Structure 1
Amino acid sequence: MEQEEFNKLPLHTKIHKLYTEGTFIVGIRYYSYKVNLYLLEDRYVEVFYNHKLDKIDNIDFLPEKHSRMKFYLDQINLNF
């Protein structure tokens, strides 16, 4: 699935797609979020969970050059 197509999906559809078709990789703490990383097809997707509000704020593809990448690389080997 292309990023543009995925981004147009409603939040509940993105959640369903990740939990039924994706593979959980790892979770990290990032500022006020718990961020879960999933592999969906051949792309990595982040789920930003706001534990204070008990809700998912955002689901999006992981940008390859984002500084957050270092938190994942400390725990696993990501191959793009």
Structure 2
Amino acid sequence: MNMQQHKPITAKELEYLVDSMSNEDLLMKQCTAAAFSTQNQNVRSACLHMLDLHQQHYHTLMNTLQQHYQMAPTQPQQ
């Protein structure tokens, strides 16, 4: 059985993941607002497509975070 071994993520990597998730969340909100504030169906369709892409990115980042959760230190590192 070939199980992929994950190394614990560093504090810097964790910070990057959290920042990236925050950015994707903001982009999802902006795409939603744009999609529902326009009367142009082409613009709405493009915004909804971008919303879907940002949701996929967010879920990928969340899954990565969850995969490494078990290896996260339970005490602050010195």
TM norm. shorter chain > 0.5: no
Give the TM-score taking structure 1 as reference length. 0.21
**What is the TM-score with the length of structure 2 in the denominator?**
0.21
- Higher-helix-fraction structure: 2
Where relative contact order (Cα < 8 A, 6+ residues apart) is larger, the structure is 2
Greater strand proportion: 1
